[in-house]
Amino acid sequence: MIYTQNYSPLSSLFLTTVLAALPIFVLFYLLVVKRSPVPIAAFGGAITAIIIAITVYRMPVNMAGLAFVHGALFGMVPICWAIVTAMFLYNTTVITGQFKRIKDSVAGLSADHRLQAVLIAFAFGAFLEGAAGAGTPVAICAAMLVGLGFEPFMAACLCLIANTSPVAYGGFGTPLLTLSGVTGIETQQLSNMAGNQLPFLSCIIPFWLVRCMCSWRETIEVLPAIAVAGGSFALCQFLFAHSSVYPLTDLAGGIISLVVTGLFLRHWKPPVIWRFESHGKGVDRANAPLHTPIERMSLIMTLKAWIPFIILCAIMITVGTNKKRIDAGTLGPVRGMYELHIPGLDKQVQRMPPVVEKQTLEPAIFKFNWITTPGTSVFVTLLIVLAILRVDRPTLKRIAKQTTKQMLVPIPTIVCMLGLGYVTRYGGLDATLGIVFKNTGALYPFFAAILGWLGVFLTGTDAGSNALFGSLQKITALQLHLNSTLITVANSTGGVMGKMIDAQSICVATAATEQVGTEADIFKFVLPHSIMLAAIIGFLVLLQAYVYPFTLMVPK
């Protein structure tokens, strides 16, 4: 049976839109108003999506169930696999004492929490996003910040906000490759356009991070370091985005920003060392206790301290640059990648104009690339680190027990959220919401970014949002006589701001900082930042669409 999507199944467009958005409303209500446990909220949203898809959109019951299963599989691999292995690696470094050396190496550059946030959450996080994505930067960096003395709540929020501007090039450029696949626009052209938008954001994010932590005065104190970190990353992002090696944009940008900022901090320090424990509410700044400085490590000692993550970086770069060849190859009788065509769903759902240019049967293929998925790179790193550190069996059991406890809530939540996203995608609910934005006319360039933001919130990934709305964005741009490259890229660059509010990212952050149960509080904290930053991208796209000289930044 072929299920043909109907984007306006009711006579009233308003009522159809409300019902299409009902799963999101239910999720918000359970999470924020009722303060239900996040897995319950995610499950409630998923069940609502299934009911709406079946009763309103007339999606066959078996297809709705299979769509949920398809999403759940993607939630398990690569996302949950990457998170579990990343947390296991982090717990290994903490319990064996290796993390203390890492902490001392960062504190040796600066004991100031403002600068540590820029180094870890922004620069190192950007590198991890470029190499792996799938929640890895939030999981590792949030845990590292807590180890450095950050308040757990703020560590989670900072890493969510920082994991934005690099997302469009995350996983060796996967989001833009996906966007190219659904729009037919050359990836290099899309990268050029993204490279004319994201560097503006990259200059803002480090400043935004620090301002979230402290006052304007205390933010201005570290402005030189902020400018070095953001400026070096933005310049690298611009240059690599316009080159043939654009998939390495975040990898290079993150490493260069980390190294350049580290070198800068060896010769410059802020007038006052700012730390959470000495600058709490009601503490007199002038009489705040001083932090005992930690002696700077030598280069050799620093490299030894960071050996787990150096190994991780080397493996990720090796695997990432050879991904296509590895996926297509074999390891004895075992293939590098297996494709599971979901029976009863694959090529059984027909997407219709205006979401696509012509009637298209939607594939439903679960790609199990067990070697190149980020979690496997982390797992191999973990095995090497366990051998190097000579971890004994009792310690290994302790690490495993702690990691299992941390993952009890995030895993079911991520599974339910990805299931929800796939039901809305195959049912056509998300397309109904997307079509509503089309009616904004001349303001559509602004709302193109907001549509991408909504897509990432629904799917949890920028690549997922591009697959969901990329074709619709191109079609709408052509109908409104707008530049299709500008509008389709806006889906990706605007979408990165939705990364900090999607449920699975928040669950990863709470798991990494051992704050399970505070998801609603974190969501309420990051939501205004997500909206404001998405609006900034929206206004930039609006300027590039209509206002000279910004129009010169749009490839013809």
pLDDT, tens digit only, all 556 positions of the chain: 899 999 889 888 889 989 988 987 887 788 767 878 778 888 898 899 999 999 999 999 999 999 999 888 877 877 678 778 877 887 888 888 887 777 777 667 777 888 989 988 888 888 777 755 656 788 778 888 888 888 888 888 998 888 877 777 776 666 777 677 667 677 788 888 888 888 888 889 999 989 988 888 999 999 999 999 999 999 988 888 887 667 777 777 888 888 898 889 888 888 888 887 665 443 344 444 444 455 666 777 777 877 887 888 788 778 877 878 998 888 888 998 999 999 999 999 998 887 777 888 988 988 888 888 878 888 999 999 999 989 999 999 999 998 888 777 777 877 887 788 788 889 988 788 777 777 777 888 998 898 888 878 766 777 767 766 776 777 778 777 888 889 989 988 888 888 888 777 787 788 778 777 777 788 888 889 999 999 999 999 999 989 989 888 887 7
Q: How far apart are CA 268 and CA 275, in angstroms?
A: 17
The DSSP symbol for 530 reads H
Residues 6+ apart with CB under 8 A from 2: 348, 349, 350, 361
**Residue 49 has what pLDDT?**
92
Length of the chain: 556
- The DSSP code for 345 is T
Q: Kindly state the helix (H) or strand (E) to which residue 205 belongs, with its residue range.
A: helix 198-213
Residue 12 makes CB contacts below 8 A (sequence gap 6+) with none
Name residue, tokens 């890895």: 136
Check residue 141 and give its pLDDT: 84
∠ at Cα 116 (166, 146), nearest 5°?
95
Any idea what DSSP says for residue 167? G
Q: What integer pLDDT is reported at residue 134 of this predicted model?
A: 59
Angle formed by the axes of helices 503-512 and 152-162, to 10°? Answer: 140
Tokens for 525, please give them: 């904290």
Q: Beta partners for 368?
A: 338
Cα separation, 535 vs 449, in Å, equals: 8
Contact indicator for 308, 182 with CB cutoff of 8 Å: no
Q: How far is CA 200 from CA 195, 231, 281, 485, in A?
A: 9, 9, 33, 18
* Strand boundaries in 320-450, DSSP class E: 330-331, 334-335, 338-341, 349-351, 360-362, 365-368
> What tokens were used for 100?
């203390």
- Quick one: how far is CA 488 from the chain centroid? 19
Q: Which residues pair with 349 in a beta bridge?
A: 3, 362
pLDDT score, position 289: 45
CA distances to 341, 345, 403 from 3, rounded to whole Å, are 17, 9, 42
- Residue 132 in 3-state DSSP? coil
Q: Quick one: which of 135, 133, 174 has its CA closest to 323?
A: 174
pLDDT of residue 55: 95
For Cα atoms 39, 43, 49, give the angle at the middle one, nearest 5 degrees: 150
Structure tokens at 537: 């991208």
Residue 286's pLDDT is: 43
Among 193, 200, 154, 157, residue whose Cα is nearest residue 175: 193
Q: How much is the pTM?
A: 0.72
What gap in Å lies between CA 461 and CA 167, rounded to an integer?
9
Q: Which residues contact 337 (CB under 8 A, 6 or more apart)?
A: 327, 328, 367, 368, 369, 370, 371, 372
C-alpha dist (Å) from residue 77 to 137, 179, 429: 17, 21, 25
What is the rounded CA–CA span in Å between residue 98 and residue 382?
13
Place of tokens 């941390």: 406
Q: What is the pLDDT of residue 123?
A: 86
